[in-house]
């Protein structure tokens, strides 16, 4: 679990970073969640979950709502803080919603991939995994009510026919956070490969598959 220093609600709006190196500020956590949200929104496949940060932020929101309730209602700052909290809540719910939508669409695929990963580098949080499994089972049961009336050679559904895969070659806009020496872009039409260098801070448009690993590491940010 992360530890967060007890912060005043003002830190939420202030852009300045605290000089506290050891512990993460709420500002920092918010930044991580916002980045995760953008990446999740623009990437075609599901990314490793950031549930710890989300939980941490929700904990903070709860505390801040408590603080706000204590302040006088006539204070104009209260409404500003409340609006800011609403914005953060939107980011969190939108992030989790986007993930659920991907889990639902690519259910079979996501579960198959998840089965090959160990617990430490799981992409889904335990709750999401449970959701995915139940969703898949529910869909299978529903399909089965019609499949079982079909002639017996045809009353099964092949994995290949029900799987929906994300298009990993779709193009994404990205911004580079760090210098990357070599990114390989495959030209699937001509079967050629091209190697390029990404400068720190530069922006590009390229197929997602070429930079998927950098997105997961956090060296590039999808925009």
Partner 1 sequence: MYCDKVIELLKELERSREDTIPPYNNDGINHVLSEMKTLDAEIIDLLRTQKDNLPLDAIRLRRAAIERNKRCLLTYIWTRIQRLKEMRWEIGAILPSDVRQNLSQSEIEWFNNYCKTLVSYMKTIGPDTGLNLTQDTKPPKSLYTEVRSLVDAGKLELESGEVLILRKNSQYMLSRSQAEPLIRQGVLEQVRQ
If one asks whether residue 82 binds partner 1 (CB under 8 A), the answer comes out as yes
CB of 16 to partner 1, least distance (A): 24
Q: Give the CA count within 13 Å in the CB-facing half-sphere of 77.
A: 10
Instruction: Give the CA distances from residue 160 to residues 104, 109, 157, in Å, rounded to whole numbers and listed in that order.
Output: 17, 10, 8
If one asks whether residue 45 binds partner 1 (CB under 8 A), the answer comes out as no
Q: At what angle do helices 26-42 and 76-105 cross, to 10 degrees?
A: 40
Question: 132, 76, 137: which is closest to 109 by C-alpha?
Answer: 132
Max intra-chain CA distance, the chain: 73
Q: Is the CB of residue 82 less than 8 Å from the CB of residue 68?
A: yes
If one asks whether residue 62 binds partner 1 (CB under 8 A), the answer comes out as yes
If one asks whether residue 197 binds partner 1 (CB under 8 A), the answer comes out as no
If one asks whether residue 135 binds partner 1 (CB under 8 A), the answer comes out as yes
Tokens of 195: 């190697």
CB of 210 to partner 1, least distance (A): 30
CB of 154 to partner 1, least distance (A): 6
Q: Give the CA count within 13 Å in the CB-facing half-sphere of 116.
A: 4
Site for partner 1 in 140-169 (CB under 8 A): 141-143, 145-147, 149-151, 153-154, 157, 161-162
Task: Tell me whether residue 19 or residue 154 sits nearer to partner 1 (CB atom).
Answer: 154
User: Binding residues for partner 1, per CB under 8 A?
Assistant: 54-55, 58-59, 62, 73, 79, 82-83, 86-87, 89-90, 92-94, 96-97, 100, 104, 127-128, 130-131, 134-135, 138-139, 141-143, 145-147, 149-151, 153-154, 157, 161-162
């Amino acid at each position: 679990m992360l530890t967060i220093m007890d912060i005043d609600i003002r830190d939420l709006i202030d852009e300045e970073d605290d000089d506290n190196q050891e512990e993460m500020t709420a500002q920092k956590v918010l930044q991580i969640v916002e980045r995760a949200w953008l990446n999740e929104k623009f990437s075609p496949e599901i990314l490793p979950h950031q549930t710890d940060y989300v939980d941490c932020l929700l904990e903070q929101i709860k505390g801040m709502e408590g603080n706000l309730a204590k302040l006088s209602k006539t204070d104009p700052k209260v409404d500003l803080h409340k609006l800011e909290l609403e914005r953060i809540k939107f980011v969190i719910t939108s992030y989790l919603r986007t993930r659920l939508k991907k889990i639902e669409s690519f259910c079979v695929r996501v579960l198959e991939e998840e089965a090959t990963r160990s617990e430490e580098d799981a992409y889904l949080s335990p709750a999401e995994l449970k959701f995915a499994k139940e969703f898949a089972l529910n869909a299978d049961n529903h399909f089965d009510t019609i499949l079982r009336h079909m002639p017996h050679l045809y009353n099964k559904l092949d994995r290949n026919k029900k799987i929906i895969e994300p298009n990993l070659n779709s193009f994404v806009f990205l911004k580079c956070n760090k210098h990357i020496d070599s990114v390989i872009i495959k030209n699937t039409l001509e079967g050629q490969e091209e190697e390029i260098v990404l400068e720190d801070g530069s922006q590009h448009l390229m197929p997602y598959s070429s930079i998927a690993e950098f997105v997961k590491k956090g060296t590039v940010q999808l925009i």
